[in-house]
Amino acid sequence: MNNPLIIGFALVAFDVVLWRCAVPQNEVARLLVRLCIYAGFSALLFSTGLSPFSQAPYPDSMPQHVLGQILEVIWWLMGARLLSLALDTLLLPKRWRRQRLFQDVFGALVFLAAVVAALGFVLELPVRGLVATSGALAIVLGLAIQSTLSDVFAGIVINTTEPYHIGDWVSIDGVEGKVVEMNWRATHLLTSQGNIMIVPNAVAAKAKITNNNRPPTLHGVTVTLEITPEARPSVVLAALERALAGVRAVIAEPAPYAIVKRTTVMSVQYEATAYVDDMGKKLAVTNELYDLCYRQLQAAGIELRPPGAPYAPSAPVQQTDARLSLLRRVEIFNALTTDELKQLAPLLTRREYDRNEKVMSPEVVPDHLTIVDSGVLSVVAEDASGPVEVTRLGPGDALGEMGLLAGMPARVTISALTRSTVYQLKKDDLTPLLKDKPDVARLMCQMLSRRQDTLDKLGTPTPVASSEQSVFQWLLDGMRKLHDLTF
């Protein structure tokens, strides 16, 4: 057991076991243990004449000489490995370690230097000639793999300047996705279609990069619309501003805005821009904003123009047709036929509300149905923590159905966020229709019962008479009593 060769190989084997088994679990502690083993290994070699800076002794025993040479070469390679690990564990920032570019490049350089040193000191090979030969070979290889080298150096620039990190949602050279990996060759993006797109670092270094995660709490949402040129721009912009005000997820600063982008012979292009504080909200807000823009423009009598469609002046809309179109957008009237809606359209009365004016108060039983024609209304309910905005209403949305159909109070406060126009239908005007169409009454109660879940969750449950009675049956009984129905 006093043979230094046996002890040296035992230390090397012990180090390999620690490396493969990852013992101890803590990375820094494991590195310190391996450094202690390397220090003991170095002390053993230098104290027994196995200096890594010269050939191994034992000239009379070829097996021992070869084993000594192997131990000296292992000393160089083990030192290179521990040096790269120490840099990786103790000095590099965590995000650089995840990207693995610097540690791979530095590790390759250190191992190359260790191999050259082992060849020169241990094996006593002519390193100068080897270096000269390897230099010529490096030139040939560099020309052969210049595109790969370009990716490597571009990766160094990207990792140094840090235009994006792993986890950021970016757009590189027209490719948009989430950064899932950054290495010495390329950046890997997970696209919205669930595919991995690999962008070479050389391409990323030259391309325009949009990082949607910077700043982290500010993300823009923009929708582009083409409008008929006969529409007055101030009217269009006012409608788009009302649409922007109707999205609850939009933050107040920076303020949302609408602008005229450009004009053509056939249309005028407008942009509506808003900001959200979470990247995950962009998709839902974009879809909601498109829908609200359509509804507000339709309420203002403005038509959207398909791109490339020839210009043709639109026919003026009759007042009765406008009211009929408004009734068709109300959910509880989906069960009515066109003739039945035509009977209700002339009965609608118009009313306007200024900004911040109260439209409906809680605990007040409305005797009419209110349908939003233009503008934005805010619906606020009370819960245990105080007032909570439940939703915002825009063109085509209705309020007061519970009072109109079943004589129930509103249970919410509704006020105008912008100057708004509404149409109202009185209870007495709806009673004859409900008496003639019992099936319509039942369908209305079914739709209305499905809309109570949100308010119930906020702590203002529907006051059903008994636990066994369903909300639908309770509403139907209330409708029969309120409108004197006999079915």
pLDDT at 462: 55
Q: Are 164 and 156 in contact (CB under 8 A)?
A: no
pLDDT at 309: 58
Q: Are 298 and 280 in contact (CB under 8 A)?
A: no
C-alpha 452: how far from its chain's center? 30
Residue type (1 letter), 140: V
Among 115, 68, 6, smallest CA distance to 14 is for 6
Alpha helices in 329-412 (DSSP H): 338-344, 401-406
- The pTM assigned to this predicted structure is 0.60
User: For residues 355 and 417, what is the distance between their CA atoms, to the nearest angstrom?
Assistant: 5
| SS3 category, 30 | helix
The tokens describing 70, both together, are: 């192997």
**Residue 379 bridge partners (DSSP):** 391, 414
The CATH number of 319-483 is which of 2.60.40.420, 2.60.120.10, 3.40.50.1110, 2.130.10.10?
Answer: 2.60.120.10
pLDDT at 119: 82
pLDDT digits (tens, 9 = 90+) for 85-107: 887 777 666 655 555 656 666 77
Q: Are 102 and 92 in contact (CB under 8 A)?
A: yes
Residue type (1 letter), 76: W
pLDDT at 466: 44
| SS3 category, 282 | helix
pLDDT at 94: 63
**Residue 272 bridge partners (DSSP):** 223, 258
pLDDT at 153: 81
The CATH number of 163-211 is which of 3.40.50.620, 2.60.40.10, 2.30.30.60, 1.10.3760.10?
Answer: 2.30.30.60
User: For residues 6 and 480, what is the distance between their CA atoms, to the nearest angstrom?
Assistant: 100
CA 184-186-190 angle, to 5 degrees, is 135
pLDDT at 247: 93
pLDDT at 365: 81
**Residue 178 bridge partners (DSSP):** 169, 190
The CATH number of 219-299 is which of 3.40.630.10, 3.30.70.100, 1.10.287.70, 3.30.70.360?
Answer: 3.30.70.100
pLDDT digits (tens, 9 = 90+) for 271-304: 999 999 888 888 899 999 999 999 899 888 887 7
For the chain, residues with pLDDT lower than 50 are 1, 317, 458-459, 465-468
